[in-house]
Amino acid sequence: MPERLHDERRRILVVDDEPYIGRIVQLKLEDGPYDVELALDGHSALAVLRSESIIDVILLDIMMPQISGLDVLAELRQLPHRRLTPVIMLTGKGQETDRAQAAALGATDFLTKPFSPKKLLARIDELFLS
Ligand SMILES: [Mg+2]
């Protein structure tokens, strides 16, 4: 696995089938100390995750066509180099069952849509403080 340089910006993979959500998140995070890679579906997300590219945090929408966020989560936790990567799930209101399932599959945290980009940035900052 490639080694990160000490003061490199952290890399966030944002997976959401709604392009504008990815864009808003990207603008906010790249204003902070993060670089964002966008994936619009589960297939491209898994392609990135199977590769050796450095990903420090994954932001993962649950509701996506074909391959859901839960499927992506289950599969990425099988990859030895992604086993411990923090994953923040994006859920809709009233998706409590999905939340429980995601927690069981190894999700790190949850954000309910619609969320404020500021709150998201705070959550990600927290991951690196603890
Ligand atoms: Mg969605």
The residue segments making up the domain with residue 17 are 10-124
Reply yes or no on whether the pLDDT at 108 is more than 60: yes
- In the chain the beta strands, taken as DSSP E runs, fall at 10-15, 34-39, 57-61, 87-91, 109-112
- What pLDDT is recorded for position 7? 65
Ligand 1 center to 60 CA (angstroms): 9
Structure pTM? 0.92
Q: What is the CATH number of the domain that holds 84?
A: 3.40.50.2300
pLDDT band for 3, please (50, 70, 90 cuts).
Answer: low
Tell whether 120 is covered by a domain: yes
> Quick one: tokens of 92?
């809709």
- Is pLDDT above 70 for 65? yes
109 Cα–ligand 1 center, Å: 17
Q: Is residue 76 part of a domain?
A: yes
- Please say if the pLDDT value at position 130 is more than 70: no
Spacing, Cα 73 to ligand 1 middle (Å): 15
The total of structural domains in the chain comes to: 1
Residue 13's beta-bridge partner residues? 37, 58
1: in domain: no
CA of 62 from ligand 1 middle (Å) equals 6
